[in-house]
């Protein structure tokens, strides 16, 4: 269990992010066309997982645009935006904001991903959705970088995440 | 278990709707301000529950408009629109569409409501979301009307629901 804050008040996550050096947990998430995808769907690529509470909130929107812009410079990487938003909301967001370089993935079927990656919030007003976090995974599905953003309203450390993706 | 169709493909729910004449199961859902609400929060009012799979889809949006119009002159009735959309998406939808006479409630924390009301879809591309259903409860939370839409992409039958509220 990890502690973060929301507007300064402490809230807690279900577990801990996967450790650097460990094998990234497999997952099953849902893409914009309601298909199930897993870690293996992105085999051979580096993966940047940007885990956000909701694309319908300002900070998540900002960070998604930022990773979308950066994507062109990382041809061997895929930017995965993971949230509890439904695929319909994610699709609407990407169409409205022109973020065609990222892949949005939804927890619409279950919160198993959030539990396995230790980001499920277990108390406070945002119980049931996720903390804000970055996990960078190499071509062999090893975790090479992680960040749990300490205050949920703040943006992640882009520099550190993109450096790990090089 | 109930059979419904999604674009003609058979799909199944986890259970059946509460029966007419029975006491409606209590629930814990999340309001637009991220607070938890239950049936008791609407004490003394008749309730129309419109259960939809996502407000970001056309049919759900159309039915919510229709119920919003109905609720305009009915102080004795509260219309509760329940979905798996996050509260952020529900709020965006209502603001964008000028919907102010219904209360949107989200299953962001879990799917217990969907299980208790028998509407959780267990297969098809919409697995994890809900079937489309309309329920009318009296002031004492007795079920007066309950209908599950046989095809997910078709609007509910409005008139019988309105008639049950006479």
What are the pLDDT digits (tens) for A37-63? Answer: 999 999 999 999 999 999 999 888 999
Closest partner CB to A89 (pick from B56, B110, B129): B56
Domains of chain B and CATH, by start: 3-164 (3.40.30.10)
- A3-164: CATH topology is Glutaredoxin (3.40.30)
Cα separation of B18 and A101, whole Å?
45
Residue A123, pLDDT score: 97
Task: Report percent pLDDT > 90 for chain A.
Answer: 94
Q: Which two tokens stand for residue B136?
A: 């009318």
Q: Which two tokens stand for residue B15?
A: 């259970």
B88 in contact with A, Cβ within 8 Å: yes
Q: Which two tokens stand for residue A70?
A: 């950066």
B31 in contact with A, Cβ within 8 Å: no
Residue A82, pLDDT score: 98
Mean pLDDT of chain A, nearest integer:
96
Quick one: average pLDDT of A125-154? 97
Q: Which two tokens stand for residue A55?
A: 């694309």
CB contact under 8 A, B56 and A88: yes
Q: Which two tokens stand for residue B83?
A: 């979905």
Q: What is the ipTM of this complex?
A: 0.93
CB contact under 8 A, A125 and B35: yes
Tell me which of B33, B88, B112, B115 to substitute to probe the interface with A (most A C-beta atoms closer than 10 Å).
B88
3-class DSSP state of A110: coil
CB contact under 8 A, A129 and B54: no
Cα separation of B72 and B66, whole Å?
10
| Partners of residue B126 in chain A, C-beta under 8 Å | 34
In degrees, rounded to 5, the angle at the alpha carbon of residue A57 between the alpha carbons of residues B34 and A87 is 90
Cα separation of B54 and B166, whole Å?
28
Most confident of the ranges B62-71, B130-139, B148-157: B130-139
CB contact under 8 A, B86 and A127: no
User: Does the structure show a pLDDT above 90 at B8?
Assistant: no
The per-residue pLDDT for range B26-78, each reduced to its tens digit, is: 999 999 999 999 999 999 999 999 999 999 988 888 999 999 999 998 999 99
3-class DSSP state of A67: helix
Cα separation of A137 and A129, whole Å?
22
Cα separation of B97 and B91, whole Å?
10
Q: Does residue A126 or residue B59 have the better pLDDT? A: A126
In this structure, the strands spanning A103-106 and A77-83 are parallel
What residue of B is the nearest CA neighbor of A30? B125
Strand order in the sheet with A46-51: A36-38, A28-30, A103-106, A77-83, A46-51, A133-137, A143-148
């Amino acid at each position: 269990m990890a502690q973060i804050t929301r507007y300064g008040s402490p809230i807690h996550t279900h577990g801990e992010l996967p450790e650097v050096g460990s094998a990234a947990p497999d997952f099953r998430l849902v893409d914009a066309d309601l298909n199930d995808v897993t870690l293996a769907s992105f085999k051979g690529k580096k993966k940047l997982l940007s885990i956000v509470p909701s694309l319908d909130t300002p900070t998540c929107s900002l960070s998604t645009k930022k990773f979308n812009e950066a994507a062109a410079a990382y041809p061997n990487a895929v930017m995965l935006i993971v949230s509890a938003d439904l695929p319909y909301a994610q699709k609407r967001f990407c169409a409205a904001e022109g973020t065609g370089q990222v892949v949005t993935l939804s927890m619409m079927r279950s919160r198993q991903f959030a539990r396995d990656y230790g980001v499920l919030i277990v108390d406070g007003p945002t119980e049931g959705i996720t903390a804000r976090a970055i996990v960078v995974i190499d071509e062999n599905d090893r975790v090479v970088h992680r960040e749990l953003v300490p205050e949920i309203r703040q943006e992640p450390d882009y520099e550190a995440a993109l450096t790990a993706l090089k | 278990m109930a059979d419904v169709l999604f674009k003609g493909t058979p799909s199944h729910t986890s259970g059946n709707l509460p029966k007419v004449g029975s006491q409606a199961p209590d629930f814990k859902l999340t309001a637009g301000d991220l607070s938890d609400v239950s049936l008791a929060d609407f004490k003394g009012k008749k309730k129309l529950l419109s259960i939809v799979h996502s407000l970001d889809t056309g049919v759900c949006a159309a039915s919510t408009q229709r119920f919003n119009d109905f609720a305009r002159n009915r102080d004795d009735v509260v219309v509760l629109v329940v979905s798996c959309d996050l509260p952020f998406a529900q709020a965006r939808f209502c603001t964008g569409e000028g919907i102010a006479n219904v209360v949107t409630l989200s299953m962001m924390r879990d799917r217990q409501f969907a299980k208790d009301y028998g509407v959780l879809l267990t297969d098809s591309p919409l697995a994890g979301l809900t079937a489309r259903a309309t329920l009318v409860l009296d002031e004492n939370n007795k079920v007066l009307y309950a209908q599950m839409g046989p095809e997910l992409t078709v609007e509910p039958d409005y008139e019988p629901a309105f008639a049950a509220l006479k």
